[in-house]
Chain A
Amino acid sequence: MLDVGSVQLSFRGVRALGGVSLVLHEGEVLGIIGPNGSGKSTLFNVVTGIYTPDGGTVRFRGQAITGLDPRAVVGRGIARTYQNKRLFPSLSVLENVLVPALRRERGGLLGDMLGLPLARAGWRAARARAAECLEFVGLAAMAAVGAGSLAYGQQNRLELARALALEPKLLLLDEPAAGLTQDERTEMRGLIERIHARGVSIALVEHDMRVVMGLCSRIVVLDHGEVIAVGAPAEIARDPAVIAAYLGAPEDG
């Protein structure tokens, strides 16, 4: 499904990605772990078109998407969340999800202004989908609340709902469990499983080993912009190179 071929990227001499290659199969939950600054978020930014890599290619379902702008990447069916939650604070919770939900609906500015039936139908469909996504992540009650005033846990789930509204085939999650309380993490794990159950392939960047071990069928380990290990969760846990990179037992993750 997703095939990253030796992607290289550096910022004014600092090498962020030094030839990263990895593959994500249809329907899989691929874990991506590594110490801070190992290039995890940078990799996501390359895949979603925010950065254009210096070298290497990114292919999605057989088609090259290297260098496409973020909106085109979304068009292909790849959605993402951010490490630092990037919501639309001045919009309501519902509106935050309506933005992606309206994307594929027919009838643009003119349609809305003239109140054409086509456009109104588009709005109804978008609202329904947005409500369904909010329901899915358990934020339906907060629909009219301003996104700026949400608690941290709720922000995570709103970003998730926003990504789901794009009906993606591949979902890139950037530390969804970061900053959550213990039971919020278990809830988040359940949520990710339910998303996966709906047939969405997932790439998961996460520090919490319990979440990673529980969810991922395969794990890629990044360090200093290079892949140092790939394999099943059990193998990775015992792999000496991984332990060295982390300098510490996985438990304290």
Chain B
Amino acid sequence: MRAGLAVGIASVIALCILGLFASDYLLEIATLVLIESIAVVGLGFLTGFAGRISLAQGALYGVGAYAAALLVTRTGLPPLVGLPVAIVAASVIGTALGTPAIRLSGLYFVMSTIGIQQILWILLMHWSSLTGGPQGVRGIPALSVGGLVLDTPARFYVAALIGAVASYLLARRVIASRFGLFLRAVSDDELASATAGVAVLRAKATALALSGGWAGAAGFLHAYYLRYVHPDMFTLDLSVVFLTMAMFGGYRSLEGMLLATVILGGASEYLRPFGQFRLVAYGGLLVLSMMFFPRGLLAVLPIRWRR
């Protein structure tokens, strides 16, 4: 564990230093990557630990963003109230829609998450009375936490950093808990888990609820980062990006997922001058990584992460 802890602390310090000296542009990218890492870690409960892949994380991320945006623009409540609402909303919708499907085999579950993603997107786009439909939701005020208004890239970066670190630490505790153990057992062998006394369906539903909750929290930050939400930000493409980062990050490795988010998040920005080629490279990265190291990034690196 020594090595893991040292690397962890070092990276957090590095991220703080980055916050102090980096230009606003780098901060904007870093903030987006940190926010996306929360949604990817949430998805990791399903892909990395429950052995299920979901293509609805983008829509649940959107549910969180809309919950935060609508709450602050339609009611007088302070922004921070939006965080628990976003988490609960995304978690409840994710669980309600996902649980009936999670009983199905892996392949059928993926299929149903595509349906869920598209249905949620269509509702965001066409339920105009609630979501503002194609106009999106504008005029989201800057996030203010106890009087401190986070309206500059640097300040918001700090909020995103705290969010991402908290998300990672909480996720580690979830995986270390008995639920995490049961989840891994279910992913290895559902039947044996049942006859070993594990409530299989409840474990899967909890994984769904957690991944939805994390997506909601990330959506909340997204809403206050862009201060404008629009249905086209939460399409199937976003779910593909999140799934890629989670799968690329690897099996049973939260650290791998964070690393993948940084690499792929950064790549989509760094490759920007290449215009269209950027997306071709992105697709290629995806295919090649699945062809040559399906167990994900850290499975390739020699160091053994003792858990």
A50 CB contact (under 8 Å) in B176, B191, B196, B197 = B191
Asked if B15 is at the interface (CB within 8 A of a chain A CB), the reply is no
- Which residues of A are found within 8 Å of B197, using beta-carbon distances? 71, 74-75, 99-100, 103, 166
Query: Interface digits, B192-213 against A, CB 8 Å rule (1 contact, 0 not)?
Result: 1111111110000010000000
Q: Would you call B188 and A88 a contact (CB within 8 A)? A: yes
Q: Would you call A99 and B179 a contact (CB within 8 A)? A: no
Asked if A95 is at the interface (CB within 8 A of a chain B CB), the reply is yes
- Which residues of B are found within 8 Å of A50, using beta-carbon distances? 191, 194-195
Question: Which of under 10, 10 to 19, 20 to 34, or 35 or more describes the interface residues of A?
Answer: 20 to 34
Q: Would you call B196 and A113 a contact (CB within 8 A)? A: no
Q: Which of B160-215 contact A (CB under 8 A)?
A: 170, 173-174, 176-179, 181-182, 184-185, 187-189, 191-200, 206
Asked if A98 is at the interface (CB within 8 A of a chain B CB), the reply is yes
Q: Which of A78-125 contact B (CB under 8 A)?
A: 79-80, 82, 86-91, 95, 98-100, 102-103, 105, 108-109, 112-113, 122-123
Asked if B222 is at the interface (CB within 8 A of a chain A CB), the reply is no
Could you tell me the distance in whole angstroms from the C-beta of B149 to the nearest C-beta in chain A?
A: 32
Closest to B195 in A: A70
Closest to B194 in A: A70
A160 to B199, CA, bound (A): 21
- Which residues of A are found within 8 Å of B230, using beta-carbon distances? none
Q: Would you call A109 and B192 a contact (CB within 8 A)? A: no
Q: Would you call A82 and B181 a contact (CB within 8 A)? A: no
A88 CB contact (under 8 Å) in B174, B179, B185 = B185
Asked if B52 is at the interface (CB within 8 A of a chain A CB), the reply is no
- Which residues of A are found within 8 Å of B199, using beta-carbon distances? 71
- Which residues of A are found within 8 Å of B178, using beta-carbon distances? 102, 105, 108-109, 112, 122-123
Could you tell me the distance in whole angstroms from the C-beta of A127 to the nearest C-beta in chain B?
A: 11
Could you tell me the distance in whole angstroms from the C-beta of A190 to the nearest C-beta in chain B?
A: 24
B194 CB contact (under 8 Å) in A71, A112, A122 = A71
A185 to B176, CA, bound (A): 37
Q: Would you call B198 and A80 a contact (CB within 8 A)? A: no
- The majority secondary structure among interface residues of chain B is helix
Asked if A48 is at the interface (CB within 8 A of a chain B CB), the reply is yes
Q: Would you call B193 and A48 a contact (CB within 8 A)? A: no
Q: Which of A32-83 contact B (CB under 8 A)?
A: 48, 50, 69-71, 73-75, 79-80, 82
Given contacts A70-B191, A103-B197, contact A109 B181 (CB under 8 A): no
A102 to B185, CA, bound (A): 13
Q: Would you call B188 and A91 a contact (CB within 8 A)? A: yes
Closest to B178 in A: A102
Q: Would you call B195 and A102 a contact (CB within 8 A)? A: no
A9 to B78, CA, bound (A): 62
Asked if A218 is at the interface (CB within 8 A of a chain B CB), the reply is no
A166 to B195, CA, bound (A): 10
> Can you list 12 pairs linking A and B with CB atoms under 8 Å apart?
A50-B191, A50-B194, A71-B197, A71-B200, A74-B196, A95-B184, A99-B182, A102-B178, A102-B182, A109-B174, A109-B206, A162-B196
List the 7 shortest-distance A-B pairs measured between CB atoms, nearest first. Answer: A112-B177, A103-B197, A70-B194, A109-B179, A86-B192, A88-B188, A100-B196
- Since A99-B181, A108-B179 are in contact, a sample of 12 more A-B pairs with Cβ atoms closer than 8 Å, ordered by chain A residue number, is A70-B195, A74-B194, A87-B189, A89-B188, A90-B252, A98-B181, A99-B193, A100-B196, A100-B197, A109-B179, A113-B170, A113-B173
